[in-house]
Amino acid sequence: MASSVSDLRLPTRVPGPSDAFPIAPDDETRDMLGRWHTAYGDLYCVPDARGGQPHWIVHDPRLVQQVLVRNSANYVKGMGLDRVRILLGNGIMVSEGDFWTRQRRLMQPAFRPRALADFNAMIFDENAALADRWQTLSERGESVDVAAHISELTLVIVLRSIFGRDYDALVTAGSNPFALLTEEPERNLKFAARFHRLTRVVDDIVERRLADPSGDFDFLGHMLAARTKAGETMSRRALVDEVMTLIVAGHETTASALAWAWYLLATHENVCARAQAEADAVDEAELRDSGTHASGGLDFIGHVISETLRLYPPGWLLSRRSVAADRFGAHEVPAGAQVFISPYVLHRHGDYWHDPQGFDPGRFERGDQPGHRFAYMPFAAGPRHCVGEHMALTEMRVHLAHMLRRFTPRYHGNAPPTMESHINLRPRDGIYLQLTPR
């Protein structure tokens, strides 16, 4: 039987539904968040299905800023991370406190733009190989599931960026032990256990690197060389956990964002044509060398990416838990409260976005952004802002520019792709396009 508001001691005068609901990273929660936002606004409480404190849902950008930035020290990661810990160990996605701070500081230098420039040529070359594959399929008249192909592409890129010269040995005889990330759609406990067993593969590579240090400037090399001010290095366990975190976080979020970008380009001919014209004007050598970050040669494609991330933010649900009591306006938030923020809801908030459901990359070109910066945060915000943002944006820009120079996409479906709202917001059944060579 559903619990009432009074049974759960819901804070006075805070709106919200009376029935309990199991908030989780799933399709039902995403659907209910949209309905509740329409009914109750930017701040409300939902009774906990397990009988605990009511959950706070926050979609006022000022309160989002309070939780993620101004008072971030009072909030730790919230519900929904048990399975992630099984998958990733204690990497920076889930770790907390002094340990998280130490790990973040050790890893940060590897993600500076100057360090990431070493990967530009590799990213370009992997896209060129995929373009040749798409060319063959298009000449046969076959449609392409771009979601599946891009998932494979981004996995190769993240593995090469982490392991460098060890990648070829990792995929000996054409077998990639991490291929289950692209082959297995479920992200359940069985998958987490299978993936976690791959820590032995990573540990073997670390062992070889320690025995034969060569100063490689891939991510693993940077992390092996990282030192605290006191000269301390990462522990072996911490290093493996961070590698596992980079593999998952660096693969799935970028792959899902690019899949949605292709759907939007394929269904908006004028936007696609303008993006193609911009890609055509870019020097290929510059694209391979720098991703044109310096020249601004791909500004409009950057706006396409920004608008894609607005409509389909991969990290669509954030959770935090209050350490001590806080206040949301007139309402006291008790210690231990679960707080949920959905970038998916924020990015479609009618008070901050004109035509919030529409695809309009020009809004970023016109400066038609929301009135509050925390109404848009595809890479989260504050101290736990995504460390890989620059690399993800580079991957997306180079991919779209390279492929749009060679193909014009046409969407095969009669309806928008179905969204799958788990840890990442991704297309459930792929995105099939007919790619016409230019």
Residue 6: is its pLDDT beyond 60? no
Given pLDDT bands bounded at 50, 70 and 90, which one contains residue 416? very high
| Residue 242 counted as domain residue | no
Q: What is the CB neighbour count within 10 angstroms for residue 324?
A: 12
Of 53, 106, 140, the C-alpha closest to 339 is 53
The Cα 382–Cα 290 span in angstroms is 27
> For 396-417, what is the mean pLDDT?
95
The Cα 130–Cα 339 span in angstroms is 42
- Tell me how far CA of residue 1 lies from CA of 9, 10, 21, 32, in angstroms: 17, 17, 12, 19
| Residue 365 counted as domain residue | no
Q: What is the CB neighbour count within 10 angstroms for residue 377?
A: 23
Instruction: Quote the number of domains for the chain.
Output: 1
Given pLDDT bands bounded at 50, 70 and 90, which one contains residue 7? very low
CATH number, domain containing residue 56: 3.30.43.20
Output the six-digit token pair for 410.
Answer: 């046409």
Q: Where are the alpha helices (DSSP H) in 164-298?
A: 167-170, 180-183, 189-196, 199-211, 219-225, 236-266, 269-281, 284-290
| Residue 35 counted as domain residue | yes
The DSSP bridge partners found for residue 380 are 378
| Residue 208 counted as domain residue | no
> According to the per-residue pLDDT averaged within each range, which of 4-18, 212-226, 233-247 is highest?
233-247
pTM for this model (two decimals): 0.93
| Residue 160 counted as domain residue | no
Looking at residue 87, what is its pLDDT? 76
| Residue 21 counted as domain residue | yes
Compute and round to an integer the Cα radius of gyration of the chain: 22
Q: Which of 81-95, 112-126, 364-378, 400-414 has the lowest mean pLDDT?
A: 81-95
| Residue 290 counted as domain residue | no
Domain that includes residue 321, residue range: 1-80+316-357
Encode pLDDT of 145-178 as tens digits: 999 999 999 999 999 999 998 998 888 867 899 9
The DSSP bridge partners found for residue 75 are 322
> For 245-264, what is the mean pLDDT?
95
| Residue 145 counted as domain residue | no
Residue 129 — φ and ψ, nearest 5°? -65, -40
> For 98-117, what is the mean pLDDT?
91
Encode pLDDT of 329-347 as tens digits: 999 999 999 999 999 999 9
